[in-house]
Amino acid sequence: MKEVEESDYESFDTAGRKTERVAVEKKAEGWGGRDNYPFPDGVAFIEVDEMKCVGCGICEMACSMEHFGVINKDLSRILIRKYLLPLPKAVQVTCVQCPPQERECEKACPVNPPAIYFDKSTLHMVVNEETCLGEKCLLCKRACSADIIKIYSSESIYPFVCDLCDVENNGSRNPQCVNVCPCGALYFKGGGAREGNEIHDIMRKHADEKAELISKRLYPLPKESVGYPGWRYD
């Protein structure tokens, strides 16, 4: 058994009264939404299950709180898009920490070395604000097939990219969106799931494309059948 501290000792009888103290193992650190599974050790990304998302936006709130201390979805690095398929459906969009050959944002950066890149020591994407050209460039945003790279110029002229809530950039990854999702629609998965391109390709699709695929699965009726002329309504 692991070493335990004084506060780790606790025991109760059948009536719920405390009795002799015995060592109790603490649960491993992890995300509570999945029975406190431990976090991945190596390269990892946030995988979404669009079919479980109800569009509550709690993940966006948690992200903005973690990075800026305020609730503002415009400051979130995870996005919720809402569509009529023809009935309402929410679709999450996240950065999937693309492998090198598919990292279009990094390829598009005109700076050498790229100002947006995957940090091999902290295992997530970062933006070097000292070299980034900021809002006058944004080639990285245009190159991202999922359109997940964001900018909110009233707060920062530099683009936002998911850092897995490693705010201090010291390798302490703890994605709050995964921790708070009440529907279990977000997963913090190890890099093994990205060895095959099939899963990864699905994850990095644009929300519009995801919504089109979901509509074919859920609703055989055309999206115009309810008389709504648009597609995305958020």
Q: Whole-angstrom Cα distance, residue 217 to residue 199?
A: 18
- What does the buried/exposed string (b/e) look like for 69-98 if buried means 16 or more CB atoms within 10 Å of the residue's CB? eeeeeebbbbbbbbbbbbeebbbbbbbbbb
Which residue(s) pair with 117 in the sheet?
126
- The tens-digit pLDDT sequence of the chain (234 residues) is 334 343 433 444 444 444 443 333 333 455 545 556 677 888 899 988 888 999 999 999 999 999 999 999 999 999 999 888 777 888 888 998 988 888 999 999 999 999 999 999 999 999 999 999 999 999 999 999 889 999 999 999 999 999 999 999 999 999 999 999 999 899 898 864 344 444 456 667 777 778 887 777 766 666 565 555 555 555
**Residue 233 falls in which region: left (phi positive, over 0), alpha (psi -120 to 50) or beta:** alpha
List all residues 6 or more positions away from 52 whose beta carbon is below 8 Å from its beta carbon. Answer: 183, 184, 185
Q: For the whole model, what pTM was predicted?
A: 0.73
Q: Domain residues of the chain, as ranges?
A: 1-29, 39-226
Closest CA to 81 of 181, 219, 208: 208
